[in-house]
Amino acid sequence: MKTATRLYFGASALALASAACGASAPTPELMTARNVYSQARSSEASQLNPRGLHDAHKALSAAERAHADDAGSPAERHYAYIATRKSELAIAQASEALALKEQQRAEQDYKAGLERRSEQMAQESSQYSQQLTQTQTQLQASGEELKAREQKVAELKAAADRAQAQLRQMEAIREEEGRMIISLSGGVLFETAGAQLSGRAQTQLATVAQALAAYTDRNIVIEGHTDATGSDSTNQDLSQRRADAVRSYLESHGVPSERLRSVGRGESEPIASNENAEGRANNRRVEVIVEPAQQPRTSSASQATPDPSAASTQAEDAAVATPPDARPRTSSRQK
């Protein structure tokens, strides 16, 4: 249809032009009319405004006829003027139609863009919602874990308090210069002259190990002591082995080895007279000393044998500290 319309307008224009050839030269108005009509034909008007283009063609035909009838006449000029305006009108109408189409297309694109954006925002919203739920779940889990840990700490503290209370009940615990000293009777812990822990010792040391768990930042010294029965070297060796036995027990019951040190003091530090059985029984003991808080010991120092010079100094200290009536020894006493 459009092609047919174009052919029709094209043929008509040629016919009009050829008709004009035989006559005089066209007026400037007619020249303009032909020119503008040609522009209209090659514009979007041929597709969007065939009716307007047809009107322009009719007007141009009238101008061409007037020119053929009487070249240069006022009628030719008049109809050419009208034809020019009709062609311009056809172009303007087509431009308006094109603008309306563009508006329509832009509105559709805008609507599609809005829909895409809406979908995108819904998707983002869903993602944020999921992340929020995840975070809330994690927070809840962290809160529960924190509660569980707090409860565990409280339980441990309560257990340590109970153990300490038990020790105090045994009247075997005292404090000196920031150190806590737990004194355990050798007669209860060991068989006579031996370094093997007795059954009762296990029960007593279990309580001690439980109490020591509360002092995770303290170093612990285990000192073995004997009475004055037997030779110094025998007593020194026996006290060391007994201190080592207690140390091993504590290690195996959760007290960190790097905080433990065992020392044999032999008979050098009596706390009572070795002249009677009761005094010697008090001197046969193992002391667990919880030192004031400091840096942990290295493993190489954990089992260090006491420095002989230090031992002699300690012996001297003990000699000074021990009353004269507590120093005499008897050869036939039990250890």
Partner 1 sequence: MHHIRERVALLVLGLTAAACGGAQLNQARVAEVQSSVVAAEAVGANDQPRAALHLQLARDEMAEARRLADDGDGDGAALLLERARVDAELAMQLAKTEQEQEKARQAWQKIQDLQKEQR
Provide, rounded to whole angstroms, the least separation between the CB of residue 107 and partner 1. 6
Please report, as a single letter, which amino acid is at residue 79.
Y
| Residue of the chain from 96, 119, 145, 217 that contacts partner 1 (CB under 8 A) | 96
Contact call for residue 109 and partner 1 (CB under 8 A): yes
Nearest-Å Rg of the Cα atoms of the chain is 59
Query: The tokens of 77 are what?
Result: 């000029």
Stretch of residues binding partner 1 (CB under 8 A), selected from 2-10, 23-31, 111-119, 156-164: 111-119
**Are 222 and 287 a contacting pair, CB within 8 Å?**
yes
Binding-residue total with partner 1 (CB under 8 A):
25
| Residue of the chain from 7, 15, 99, 122 that contacts partner 1 (CB under 8 A) | 99
Give the separation between CA 5 and CA 39, rounded to whole angstroms: 16
Q: Of 78 and 327, which CB lies nearer to partner 1 in the complex structure?
A: 78
Give the separation between CA 195 and CA 239, rounded to whole angstroms: 8
Provide, rounded to whole angstroms, the least separation between the CB of residue 61 and partner 1. 16
| Residue of the chain from 10, 28, 70, 113 that contacts partner 1 (CB under 8 A) | 113
Query: The tokens of 214 are what?
Result: 């509360």
**What count of other Cβ atoms lies within 10 Å of the Cβ of residue 230?**
19
Contact call for residue 102 and partner 1 (CB under 8 A): yes
Please report, as a single letter, which amino acid is at residue 162.
R
Provide, rounded to whole angstroms, the least separation between the CB of residue 154 and partner 1. 55
Provide, rounded to whole angstroms, the least separation between the CB of residue 27 and partner 1. 15
| Site pattern 47..86 for partner 1 (x: CB under 8 A) | ---------------------------x---x--xx--xx
| Residue of the chain from 8, 38, 73, 110 that contacts partner 1 (CB under 8 A) | 110
Contact call for residue 93 and partner 1 (CB under 8 A): yes
Residues forming beta bridges with residue 159, ordered by sequence position: none
Q: Exposed e or buried b for every residue in 55-90, given b needs 16+ CB within 10 A?
A: bbbebbbbbbebbeeeebeeebbebbbbbbebbbbb
Provide, rounded to whole angstroms, the least separation between the CB of residue 105 and partner 1. 8
What residue spans of the chain are helical by DSSP H? Answer: 2-21, 28-42, 45-48, 50-69, 74-169, 186-189, 199-212, 232-252, 277-283, 299-302, 308-321
Provide, rounded to whole angstroms, the least separation between the CB of residue 115 and partner 1. 11
Provide, rounded to whole angstroms, the least separation between the CB of residue 21 and partner 1. 27
Stretch of residues binding partner 1 (CB under 8 A), selected from 97-105, 128-136, 179-187, 248-256: 97-105
Contact call for residue 122 and partner 1 (CB under 8 A): no
Provide, rounded to whole angstroms, the least separation between the CB of residue 99 and partner 1. 4
Question: What CA–CA distances, in Å, run from 235 to 230, 241, 285?
Answer: 7, 10, 12
How many alpha carbons lie under 13 Å from residue 261 in its C-beta half-sphere?
20
Please report, as a single letter, which amino acid is at residue 58.
K
Contact call for residue 215 and partner 1 (CB under 8 A): no
**What count of other Cβ atoms lies within 10 Å of the Cβ of residue 157?**
11
Q: Of 93 and 282, which CB lies nearer to partner 1 in the complex structure?
A: 93
Contact residues for partner 1 (CB under 8 A)? 74, 78, 81-82, 85-86, 88-89, 92-93, 95-96, 99-100, 102-103, 106-107, 109-110, 113-114, 116-117, 120
